[in-house]
Chains A and B, each alone.
Chain A
Amino acid sequence: METRSLPILLLTLVALLIANLMFGAVSLPFKQVIEGFQVGNANYFTVHEYRFPRTILAMLVGAMMALAGALVQGVIRNPLASPDVLGVSHGAGLAAVFYMTFFPNADIDWLPTVALCGSLIAALMLWWLCGQHSSTIKLAITGVALAALYASCIDFLMLVKPLEINNALLWLTGSLWGRGWNQLAMLLPWLLLIPCALWLAKPLNLIHLGDDSAISLGVKASTLRLLSLAIAVGLTASCVAICGPIGFLGLVAPHLTRKLVGGRHQLLLPSTMLVGAILLLLADLVARTIDPPIELPAGIMTAIIGAPYFLWLLFRTK
């Protein structure tokens, strides 16, 4: 337990980073991957322009979604909670589908911004309905209800505008397909949220002990809850805007990590980022190599791992 898992996680991450550069529709030996970073090399496009930014993006998105999950589970004090219960991803989905179906000829480059606005509006909606001092249970149930509402709106849009359904469905599964340097650049400013989240490690430990003890130990419980959820919303929204809603990552990664390293957030938060990165790199690797040249969305892979894990968790939890 505890810190012993860290080196193993780091090694796994490095191995997966390399594997993601080597394998795909065409497999490249390690030497050619290294050479592919040089301008003018035959594999320059495949390695530097295509696989490398996508791999980095998968690592960052995996880490950020997992971190968001750990923050939400931390303040809601329930291992079954995840950023999905805030309705943020569904808000992004609704905005994206709305944009794609009503403006089919509009610039696709604006899609991340539209999705980002959708998720932030969804977060504000939840905030407006619940306010600062409501219980976490009320927050979670309201979030789930809103998510269901957004999901039904998405279905409605796709039924009345069946012509645009393909793009919408592809985006809604969550995928890293076609994502490169541009998307990576869009994500960069949001990385600032990571140190902000790590800053909350100590008070998150105390929230774990219940509000009464946390307050008595000097934590402003409601402020901390608001801050953590806001950071989780920012992390989730920025990732969903770029890759679409990649399911179950924010639920599975922190939970798995808690089993590996325990519940102290000083260790849990950095470790869960490693686990999240590993899971998404693995999902994308499998999605790209299972049946080349056809690619599956990474979101399907995370759902295939995540859904049974969630059910197992549900049956185990009394």
Chain B
Amino acid sequence: MSLSTHNVSVGYHGKAIVKQVDLSIPEGKIIALLGPNGCGKSTLLKAMARILSPIEGQIHWQGKNIHQMASKKLAQQLALLPQTQPIPEGIKVKDLVAYGRSPYTGFWGRISNADQHIIDKMMQQTGVTELAEQLVSELSGGQRQRVWLAMTLAQDTPYLLLDEPTTYMDLSHQVELMHLLRKLNLQGKTIITVLHDINQAARYCDHLIVMKQGKIVTQGSPESVLTESLLKDVFSLNAQIHLDPIAKTPMCVVE
């Protein structure tokens, strides 16, 4: 078990939002964190990315407390795409993506040929190659999200943490992103993503973790997790579960 939380409580200003969570992230899967607003799914993700320090408990990477590891070492293992990103002034797309190589470069941040190869590849995979010379501040919200994704991917980590990565994208780019995640997963990456769209999670993710009021309610494959009673309990939704006619995964239809 590479990434695990042990009795972790975490929140803001000493007030716990996530409460005493024990969790082992199944390796090599696409994992979705689901739950209503304020349930603590983003907070838990941030804690795993060591953005937030736990109030109690520990988070372990390969048996070691992540807050006691060298930050550059850990940055070669875990990458995070935050939910919102500031708009840096005077930075070109190609520069921003190159920043993703920071955990590997020396003190002056010089990019090697091998680094450049990875940068080019990730820009291509996220479809931002033709934006390379543009300023990040001039892009649309969806374009910017893809550029940041390329930066996060350039970090080239076995674990990828994404906080609502589809929020600002139109539907076709959302689908493209989920396909890209599938492809990266086949290459061996473990992907943990916060999602709002239950059907998207059921269709593209292997493992769902459902949270409510800072606790994990249930977890497992989409087939085992998504039930009508769960939707009622967690999301206060009256909905039916049907089979997606194409992907044969469970699909929630609201009554």
Interface residues of A (CB under 8 A from B): 77, 79, 199, 201-202, 205-206, 208-213, 215-220, 258-259, 261-264, 266
Contact = CB atoms under 8 A, between A and B. Distances in A.
A199 B76 CA distance: 22
Nearest to A265: B109
Chain B's interface size range is 35 or more
A203 to B, nearest CB: 8
Smallest CB-CB A-B distances: 6 pairs:
A218-B75, A263-B90, A216-B80, A202-B109, A218-B72, A212-B82
Interface in B69-102: 71-76, 78-80, 82, 85-86, 88-92, 95-96, 99-100, 102
Interface string B94-126: 011001101101011100000000000000000
A262 B155 contact: no
Pick from B75, B103, B151 the residue with the most CB of A within 10 Å: B75
Interface string B32-68: 0000000000000010011100000000000000000
Pick from B80, B89, B90 the residue with the most CB of A within 10 Å: B90
Contacts of A216: 49-51, 75, 78-80, 82, 152, 155, 161
A218 B66 CA distance: 12
A277 to B, nearest CB: 21
A201 B102 CA distance: 12
Given A212-B51, A217-B155, A263-B91, A77 B86 contact: yes
Nearest to B95: A264
Contact of A263 (B51, B80, B85, B88): B88
Contacts of A258: 89-90
Contact of B82 (A79, A202, A213, A220): A213
Given A208-B86, A217-B100, 17 more contacts: A202-B108, A202-B109, A206-B102, A208-B88, A209-B85, A209-B86, A209-B99, A210-B82, A213-B85, A215-B50, A216-B79, A217-B102, A218-B74, A219-B71, A220-B71, A262-B91, A264-B95
